[in-house]
């Protein structure tokens, strides 16, 4: 175990190697791009490196290396961390599938990655978690996230934990998904419509990762990442419908109907929601008062109005070049 709370670390400058575990996903591409722009050399680890080939053009020739690795077994991680100046773990899942369980990926996997990073001498480390993480939660997703945080800090006390709310951006699976439903479905179902979210722009989260790796005052701290807009789930759906240029009505589902839908999702992979996701949806997903935030990392939060209208233009009738509603 490394205790680097009081150590003086050299600046993370051009040429520094940063290992990013799970860097081929939605959030990963933006973090890789930010780190590459800062001059870092990237080792991007994923179970299928071929799926990450799209990352190569984000850096200069040879700047981004793609490696095979898996947090559930630890395969490839020791070599990926060897000689690196910093590490970032982005691995997370929203639903369990086969061997990809919450415990295996977000708890045990996070612990394994941090322990191997510590063994390689890494003291600058970012663990991507989520608002709602709680090792004592009855919800498996939230519990595994909380256990992962604790395990990371046990291995690397200087690590930084980032807890974003709903991450929004061009490739997200939330706003795009509901905009697609607004375009094709007769109604949009509202489940736990009063639950509040604080969507955070994906580029702001990426900037937070870079800032956390470069600031000594971020060591050992947990940051809650949310944007300036706090909206209920119902209001988010209304906004999506409006920006998609549609008139799709909202349909409020009862708790009983939502529970039945979620139980079906536990056994049928094509259903939109599981019981675990429903339990999370019933809780607010916002930044609580008095905790470190984006602002403490020097990152100005981007409002939804700055990117969401353009992002959802393609869902409007006729696409982005179609006639706009008054």
Coil/strand/helix, residue 250: strand
- How high does pLDDT run on average in the chain? 92
pLDDT surpasses 70 at 279:
yes
**pLDDT tens readout for residues 38-53:** 999 999 999 999 999 9
Best CA proximity match to 23, nearest among 62, 82, 68, 73 = 68
Residue 273: its pLDDT value, please?
79
Coil/strand/helix, residue 224: strand
Distance from C-alpha of 247 to C-alpha of 186, rounded to nearest angstrom: 10
Element (H, E) at 146: helix 140-155
The residues near 286 (Cβ < 8 Å, ≥ 6 apart) are: 131, 165, 196, 197, 198, 226, 230
Angstrom distances, CA of residue 172 to CA of 27, 29, 53: 9, 12, 19
Distance from C-alpha of 190 to C-alpha of 283, rounded to nearest angstrom: 14
Residue 33: its pLDDT value, please?
96
Residue 325: its pLDDT value, please?
54
Domains, the chain, with CATH or none: 17-167+200-226+287-297 (3.40.50.720)
**pLDDT tens readout for residues 150-204:** 999 999 999 999 999 999 999 999 999 999 999 999 999 999 999 999 999 999 9
Report the percent of the chain where pLDDT is more than 90: 82
pLDDT surpasses 60 at 1:
no
Do the Cβ atoms of 189 and 278 come closer than 8 Å?
no
Best CA proximity match to 23, nearest among 69, 76, 60, 82 = 69
The torsion angles phi and psi of 67, rounded to 5 degrees, stand at -125, 155
Output the pTM of the full model: 0.93
**Of the given ranges (58-67, 272-281, 309-318), which has the lowest mean pLDDT?**
272-281
Strands, E, within 24-104: which ranges? 41-46, 64-68, 86-89
Residue position matching structure tokens 């992962």: 148
Residue 323: its pLDDT value, please?
57
**pLDDT tens readout for residues 72-120:** 999 999 999 999 999 999 999 988 888 889 999 999 999 999 999 999 9
Angstrom distances, CA of residue 196 to CA of 129, 193, 204, 231, 282: 19, 8, 20, 5, 9
Strands 41-46 and 64-68 turn out to be parallel
pLDDT surpasses 80 at 149:
yes
């Amino acid at each position: 175990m490394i205790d680097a709370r009081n150590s003086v670390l050299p600046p993370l400058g051009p040429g520094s190697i940063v290992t990013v575990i799970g860097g081929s996903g939605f959030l990963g591409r933006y973090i890789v791009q930010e780190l590459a722009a800062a001059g870092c050399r990237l080792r991007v680890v994923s179970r299928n490196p071929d799926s990450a080939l799209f990352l190569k053009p984000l850096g200069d020739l040879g700047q981004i290396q793609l490696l095979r690795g898996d947090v559930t077994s630890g395969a490839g991680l020791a070599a990926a961390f060897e000689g690196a100046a910093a590490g970032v773990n982005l691995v997370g899942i929203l639903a369990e599938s086969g061997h990809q369980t919450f415990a295996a990926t977000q708890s045990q996997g996070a612990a394994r990655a941090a322990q191997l990073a510590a063994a390689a001498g890494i003291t600058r480390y970012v663990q991507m978690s989520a608002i709602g993480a709680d090792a004592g939660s009855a919800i498996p997703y939230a519990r595994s996230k909380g256990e992962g945080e604790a395990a990371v800090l046990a291995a690397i006390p200087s690590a930084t934990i980032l807890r974003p709310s709903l991450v929004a951006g061009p490739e997200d699976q939330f706003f795009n998904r509901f905009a697609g439903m607004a375009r094709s479905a007769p109604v949009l179902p509202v489940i736990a419509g009063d639950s509040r979210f604080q969507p955070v722009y994906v580029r702001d989260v990426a900037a937070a990762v870079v800032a956390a790796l470069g600031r000594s005052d971020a060591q050992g701290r947990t940051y809650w990442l949310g944007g300036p807009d706090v909206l209920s789930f119902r209001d988010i759906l209304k906004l999506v419908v409006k920006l998609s240029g549609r008139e799709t009505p909202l349909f409020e589902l009862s708790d009983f109907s939502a529970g039945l839908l979620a139980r079906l999702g536990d056994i049928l992979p094509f259903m939109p929601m599981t019981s675990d996701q429903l339990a999370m949806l019933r809780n607010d997903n916002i930044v609580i008062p008095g905790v470190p935030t984006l602002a403490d990392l020097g990152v100005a939060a981007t409002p939804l109005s700055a990117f969401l209208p353009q992002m959802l233009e393609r869902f409007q009738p006729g696409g982005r070049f179609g006639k706009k509603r008054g």
